């Protein structure tokens, strides 16, 4: 197996002894840093090398060698290379509101869910959903002040305590 991989690595332009580094338990990013090869190029070259091996060697031979840990690591690497590089999350704005009143109702419903979860201060809400806080402050400030009033500075926890320096 390593002979076929070594020859495929040589064909794609990598050092044939790279196969032993690939069989280690390090990640592909760590391998690219240790070999001083940029990650995208290393990924491309390895992809070509593994494709060459898969064309030459039938799946039965992979299964016959699967009992060795090095081959199992190479198989996992091959599966990782065949998966997409990155799965980009594309967030689409899902505003179904036709006018400002419907949008206001939707935002109030979101805030009600957070209140049911136990949020009692603006700071907690800000940590959970910053966009909702900004929207409520700019478009629905009176209702927002009624639901989550600002805590006066004198009532805040820790006010007036002396800080000790060490």
> Which pLDDT tens digit goes with each residue over 46-72?
888 888 887 766 555 555 555 677 777
Query: Looking at the 3D structure of the chain, how many domains does it have?
Result: 2
Does residue 63 fall inside a structural domain?
yes
Residue 112 is encoded by which pair of tokens? Answer: 């009600």
* Widest Cα–Cα separation across the chain: 76
**DSSP classification of residue 127:** H
- Domain range spanning residue 131? 100-152
Does residue 6 fall inside a structural domain?
yes
3-state secondary structure of 144: helix
Residue 137 is encoded by which pair of tokens? Answer: 């402050």
**Do 106 and 76 belong to one domain?**
no
More confident residue, 96 or 126: 126
CB-based contacts of 34, cutoff 8 Å, min separation 6: 21, 26
pLDDT score for 3: 74
Does residue 48 fall inside a structural domain?
yes
**Do 110 and 142 belong to one domain?**
yes
Compute the distance between CA of residue 75 and CA of residue 72 in angstroms, rounded to an integer: 5
Least confident range from 23-27, 68-72, 84-88: namely 84-88
Does residue 161 fall inside a structural domain?
no
């Amino acid at each position: 197996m390593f002979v076929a991989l070594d020859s495929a690595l040589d064909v794609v332009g990598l050092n044939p002894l790279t196969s032993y580094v690939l069989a280690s338990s390090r990640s592909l990013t760590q391998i690219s840093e240790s070999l001083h090869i940029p990650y995208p190029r290393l990924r491309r070259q390895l992809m070509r090398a593994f494709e060459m091996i898969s064309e030459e060697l039938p799946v039965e031979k992979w299964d016959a060698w699967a009992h060795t840990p090095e081959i199992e690591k190479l198989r996992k690497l091959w599966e990782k290379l065949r998966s997409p590089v990155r799965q980009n999350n594309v967030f689409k704005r899902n505003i179904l509101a036709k006018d400002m009143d419907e949008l206001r109702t939707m935002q109030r419903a979101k805030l009600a869910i957070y209140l049911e979860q136990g949020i009692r201060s603006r700071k907690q809400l800000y940590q959970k959903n910053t966009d909702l806080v900004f929207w409520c402050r700019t478009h629905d400030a009176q209702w927002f002040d009624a639901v989550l009033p600002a805590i006066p500075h004198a009532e805040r926890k820790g006010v007036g305590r002396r800080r000790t320096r060490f």
